[in-house]
Amino acid sequence: MLPLALPLRGGATPNPSHPAPKDLDWSTFGFSLNNLKTPYMYLDQLSGSSSHATFDGSGGGSGSLKSGWHNKNNPPKARTLITKHKPLSLEPSSTILNYGQGLFEGIKAFRRPSNEIVIFRPQKNAERCRRGCARILIPPIPDATFVEACKEVVRYNAEYVPPTGKGALYLRPIVFGSAPKLGVAPSDEYTFCVWCSPVGNYFKTDSNATQTTLLSSVSPITLLVSRSYTRSCVGGVGGVKAVGNYAPVFKCQSETKAQGFNEALFVDAKEGQWIEEAGASNFFIYIPHPNKPGGTLVTPPLNNGTILAGVTRDSILTLARAELPDVTVEERPINLSELSSASEAFCCGTGASITPVGDIRVPSVTEEGEETKFIFYNGDRKAGEVTEKLYKMLHDIMWGEDKRLEKKYADWITVVPPLPK
C-alpha cells in the first residue's frame, strides 16, 4: 500500500500574492529535472474492482459507488490531498510494473509579470486523461478532481514557478494500477499522483531571451523520417498518453540523434508515406497560395486513433481559424511528397511549445534510392511568419500580454490562488 497523503490546510485569509520565484539561475534550466525536487506532490488511491469506481479526491476512493461520479446526487468531493514529495512504494507484481497499466499527462503553469500564476488549459488534459483511462480500463478521474489536484500542487510549489519568460512549472499527473496481480487483468487498486518540476525550454535558446524574443532565439530543428520504426498503428493506443507508448521510441530517438538530427518524424505503419507525429510532438506545415496572399495550415487528423490529441495542437487550430483570416486550416493526411509545397513547418506540444523545423530528411524506401531533403526558411530567419504569429498569440494568452486575446480565450486560463497564511 502507498502511504496516504495529508489533507489540505485551510481556513486562513489568502495572501495578496504568491511568493517570488526562488533565487536560482533560471537561464541554465532545460527541459529536465534540473537537479532539484519540488517539496510537495498530490497523492490519492482508489481501491475497488467496480468498473464504475472513480477517484473523488477523498483519499479512500469510491469503489463502492455503483454509479460513480456520473451520479449527480453524488458529485466528486472538493478536498485535495497534498503530501511531501517522496518515493512511492510498489509491489514487484503491481500491474503498472508488469503490464504497463498506466498513463500520464503533461501540463504547464506560468508566472505572469504581475506575479499571478496560471495553468494553461488543464481542463483539456483532464478530458484527455479521462478518455485514456477508459481505453486501458482505469477508473476515470473526474475532471474537477484532476484540475483541483493540479492547482494545489502549483499552490504548494509556487516558489518553483520560474520568472516570466524563463520557463514554467511542469506538472506530471500520472495514474496507474498499483495492486499486486499475477494474471493479465486490470488492477484492483489505482494510484493517482501529480508531481512537478520547474523546466526551461524544450530546445536550446539564447539565455538572455525574453518572452517577446524567445522564438527568434530558437534554432529550427532537424527531423529525420523514420523508415525502420513506427510509433503506433490503427487500433492501438497511439491516441492516448499510455506509459507504454514512449519506451519503444527510445531506440529510434537514439539512432536519430546519433545521425545528427533533433527528432524522428514518424509516418504511418501501413504505407510509410503519411506523416503522423514528430518525436513526442504534433506536426504542422504551412503551404502558401501560389498567386495570392495567405495559404493553408495543415496537420494530420485524429480519426485513425494513431495521433495524440495535443492540447497545444487544439489551441493552434483554434487560433489559426479565428485570428488568421488569410489562412485556411485543414486537418487531413499529409503525404511526404507534399513537403515540397510547404514554406514552413513546426512541431508543437506542452514540452516543445511551438518549435520551428529547419529541414526534414526523407531516406529512400530502398537501399538503391536517393534520400530527399526538404528545407524550410531562408537562413536569414529563425521561423516563418505564420509560425511566429501563432507562437506570439499562444504565449500572449499564457502570459497575459494581449488583453483582447486574454479576454476572448479566458476559459483557457486557470488562475491559481495563493496559499492561505
Q: Where are the domains of the chain?
A: 6-199, 215-400
Rounded CA separation 363/382 (Å): 25
Q: Can you give the pLDDT at residue 13?
A: 38
Query: Which residues is 189 bridged to in the sheet?
Result: 47
CATH fold label, 6-199 = D-amino Acid Aminotransferase; Chain A, domain 1 (3.30.470)
Q: Can you give the pLDDT at residue 316?
A: 99
Q: Can you give the pLDDT at residue 165?
A: 87
Cell 521510441, residue located? 249
Residue 199 and residue 28 in contact, taking contact as beta carbons nearer than 8 Å = no
Residue 331 phi/psi, 5-degree rounding, is -105, 105
Query: Which residues is 223 bridged to in the sheet?
Result: 263, 360
Cα-based distances in Å from 181 to 98, 100, 177, 288: 9, 12, 10, 55
Q: Please name the residues in contact with 355: beta carbons below 8 A apart, sequence gap of 6 or more.
A: 202, 203, 218, 220, 221, 281, 346, 347, 348
Residue 353 and residue 217 in contact, taking contact as beta carbons nearer than 8 Å = no
Closest Cα partner for 175 from 81, 104, 91, 80?
Answer: 104
Q: Can you give the pLDDT at residue 78?
A: 33
Q: Please name the residues in contact with 184: beta carbons below 8 A apart, sequence gap of 6 or more.
A: 99
Label residue 395 by pLDDT band (50, 70, 90): very high
Q: Can you give the pLDDT at residue 59?
A: 53
- Weakest mean pLDDT among 20-24, 51-55, 184-188: 51-55
Each residue of 340-386: pLDDT tens digit? 999 999 999 998 799 999 999 999 876 667 889 999 976 556 789 99
Residue 197 and residue 351 in contact, taking contact as beta carbons nearer than 8 Å = no
Cell numbers for 283: 506536426
Closest Cα partner for 280 from 255, 243, 316?
Answer: 243
Q: CA 267, 272, 277: angle at the middle one, nearest 5?
A: 5
Q: What is the mean pLDDT of the chain?
A: 87
Instruction: Give the residue numbers annotated as catalytic, written as ranges.
Output: 241
Each residue of 126-158: pLDDT tens digit? 999 999 999 999 999 999 999 999 999 999 999
Label residue 65 by pLDDT band (50, 70, 90): very low
Query: Which residues is 177 bridged to in the sheet?
Result: 190
* pTM for this predicted structure: 0.89
Residue 162 and residue 169 in contact, taking contact as beta carbons nearer than 8 Å = yes
Closest Cα partner for 353 from 303, 280, 263, 402?
Answer: 280
CATH fold label, 215-400 = D-amino Acid Aminotransferase; Chain A, domain 2 (3.20.10)
Residue 147 phi/psi, 5-degree rounding, is -65, -45
Alpha helices in 234-310 (DSSP H): 247-258
Each residue of 255-287: pLDDT tens digit? 999 999 999 999 999 999 999 999 889 999 999
The secondary structure element, H or E, covering residue 86 is none
Q: Please name the residues in contact with 334: beta carbons below 8 A apart, sequence gap of 6 or more.
A: 274, 275, 283, 285, 298, 299, 300
Cell numbers for 346: 513546426
Topology agreement, domain 6-199 and domain 215-400: no
- Weakest mean pLDDT among 62-71, 79-88, 388-397: 62-71
Residue 200 and residue 390 in contact, taking contact as beta carbons nearer than 8 Å = no
Residue 201 and residue 214 in contact, taking contact as beta carbons nearer than 8 Å = yes
Q: Is 372 helix (H, G, I), strand (E, B) or coil?
A: strand
Each residue of 334-352: pLDDT tens digit? 999 999 999 999 999 998 7
Rounded CA separation 207/200 (Å): 10
Long-range contacts of 407-412 (CB under 8 A, 24+ apart): 409/318, 411/123, 412/120, 412/121, 412/315
